[in-house]
Amino acid sequence: MASQHNTTTPTATTTTTTARTTMTASGIRTYTLDELRFLKAQMQQQIFADRPLLQGPREDPADVFVTNEVDLSHIDAFGFDYDYTLASYNNELQALIYQLAAQSLINNNKYPAECANLQYDPNFAIRGLHYDVKKGLLMKIDAFQNVQLGTVYSGHRPLDDDETRRIYNGVHIPLEYMHSFMPQLTDLFSLPEACLLANLTQFMHDTQLPFHPEYLYMDVAHAVSEVHSRRQMHLEVIRNVGHYVHPSPNLENLLSTMRQHGKKVFLLTNSSFSFVNVGMSHIVGPHWRDLFDVIVVDALKPRFFNESRPFRQFDTTLNSMTWTKVSRFARGGVYCHGNSLDFARITGWTPGRVMYVGDHVLSDLQDPSRKHGWRTGAIIRELDEEITILNSPEHHQSLTWLLNLQRLIKKLQHVQHHEKHSLLRAWQAEKNEVSAHLKDMFNPQFGSVFRTFHNPTYFAHRMSRVADLYTSDVCNFLRYSLDHTFYPQRMYLPHEPAPRRDDQGFFKCGP
C-alpha cells in the first residue's frame, strides 16, 4: 500500500520536534501539527518496519462463538438442519445450481441462448447481499441500513461513491424501501443467484437489450427456486454424491456422543428423504437413521414454525406417505411436513431446552428463536476463511495502522492551524485507502461477510440477534463437553472504557 511508504511524512530520525502538548478548556489534550506529523511517522516506522511481521491476536477458526449465554447441561434435545449443516458442499454444487437456473431461463423464459455461455464465478459474490429490484443494483448494507460505499454493482460495473450517493440521496436506505424492494440473499444457495443476476444485467447492458430489473429478479429468483422445488439439483447430487458432498469423519462421533450423554437428537430439514438418505449414507453410513430420535423431512421451513400443517409418516420402503395419524414419533421413523406446536406436544420437550442448529438465518433460526424460545446455533462456513485472514500478519498490520490513523485524525481535528484542513484531507484519503485494502483482502467486490468498514453487516447483525452460538462447522461442538457453559464477551459501548489485560489475557486494574 502507498501509505506504507509515505515519503512526505517526517521520520522519527529527521525531525527535532519535541512532544509538547496542551489542554483545552474542555480537558482535551491537543498537539501541534509538527507533533502529530512526528507521531504519525513514529507509528508508521514501528508498524511497517522491514523486519519479520509480528503476529497479532489469534482466533481459532474451529471455535464456537457466543452471542448469548448457553449452558449445554440445560439442553435436552439437539436438532440439526441438513443442507450446509450436517452436509457440507463444495463450489461444484453452486456451479450446478447456476447452470440449471440459467438453462431454465433460456428454456422457459426465452432468454437469449447466449446466456448459457455466461460463466459462474464462485469468487464474485458473498452471502448477505441486497439486490435493489427497482434499480438493478447489488450491494452490501450494514447493520444501520447504510450502503457500504465501494460495494454497489450494476452487473459487473462498480458504481463510484458519488453515483451511489446521488441515486440514494446519501447512503442510508429507509427500512420500508428495504423491505419492499431490496430482498436479501441470505443463504449459500443464493450465491449462484447473485452471480446470475450480475451476469444477466451485464449481458443486457452489453447487448443493449431493454429490460426491467424487477422482471429480471423475478425470473432469476423463480428459476433458482425451481432448481430446488423440482429436485433437479437433488437428482444430480444423488447420481454423483461424492462429487458434491464433503466427507465429515467426525459427524457420527458428534451425534453418538450426544445420545450417549442422554441428549435427544433430531433432524429437521426441508430436503426430501431420498436426498438426505443418499447424503447421510455417504457421510456416515447406511445406519445413519439410528443416530436420531426423530427425523423430519420436507418440513417446509419457515412454515413449519408458523402454520398448523399436520405430520405424516413416510414409508421408506414404498417411498410415499402413509394415511395414519401421527400421534408419536418412533425411533428410526421418518416424518414429513408437521409444525412446531405438534412437535413440542408429541415429544414433550420443553422449548427452552431445545437447541436447533442450521445455516439459514431466516428459515432455520429466526422463528424458533423469537417465536418458540428454542436456543439456536448458526453454521457459518465463511468463518473459517475469514478468521484465517483476520489472523494473518498483513491484516493485523493494516488494521493496527488504520486504528492508529483514525486516532491521529481525531486529534488533528482539535488543532488550530490554517494548514490543518489540507493535512486532514490527506490523512482521511489515506484512511480510506487502508480501509479499502482491508475490504479487498476478503473479497475484492464486497469485502467481509460480517463487517463493513466500521460496523457489522446487515447479515451479521441479523444473525447475532437470532443465533445464540455460531461456528464454521457443526463438528466444532465436539471440542466442548455437554455440560459446558458458553459465555458471551462483554460488548463495550463507545462511552465505556475496556479494562486492561495482562500477558495471559486476564483483566487487571492499573497500568
Asked if 137 and 202 touch (Cβ cutoff 8 Å), the reply is no
Q: Where are the alpha helices (DSSP H) in 316-359?
A: 340-347
Q: How many residues does the chain have?
A: 511
Q: What is the spatial distance between Cα 37 and Cα 408, in angstroms, rounded to a whole number?
A: 9
Does 162 belong to an annotated binding site? no
Q: Please give the backbone phi and psi of residue 36, each rounded to the nearest 5 degrees, phi first.
A: -70, -35
Residue showing cell 529527521: 14
Within a 10 A sphere around the Cβ of 410, how many other Cβ atoms? 10
Q: What is the spatial distance between Cα 299 and Cα 133, in angstroms, rounded to a whole number?
A: 29
Nearest to 242 by CA among 82, 90, 80: 90
Q: Pick the catalytic residue: 50, 63, 71, 83?
A: 83
Does 160 belong to an annotated binding site? no
Q: Is 83 a catalytic residue?
A: yes
Residue 411 in grid coordinates? 486529534
Burial per residue of 101-130, b for 16 or more beta-carbon CB atoms within 10 angstroms, e otherwise:
bbbbbeeeeebeeebeebebbeebbbbbbb
**Sequence-separated contacts (24+) of 420-429 with Cβ below 8 Å:** 420/33, 423/33, 423/37, 427/40
Find residue 508's DSSP bridge partners. 500
Residue 94 in grid coordinates? 453452486
Q: Is 187 a catalytic residue?
A: no
Q: Pick the catalytic residue: 50, 81, 315, 483?
A: 81
Residue 328 in grid coordinates? 408419536
Asked if 408 and 36 touch (Cβ cutoff 8 Å), the reply is yes
Does 71 belong to an annotated binding site? no
Residues tagged in the binding site annotation for GMP: 83
Which are the catalytic amino acids? 81, 83
- Binding site, annotated residues for Mg(2+): 81, 359
Binding-site residue ranges: 81, 83, 359
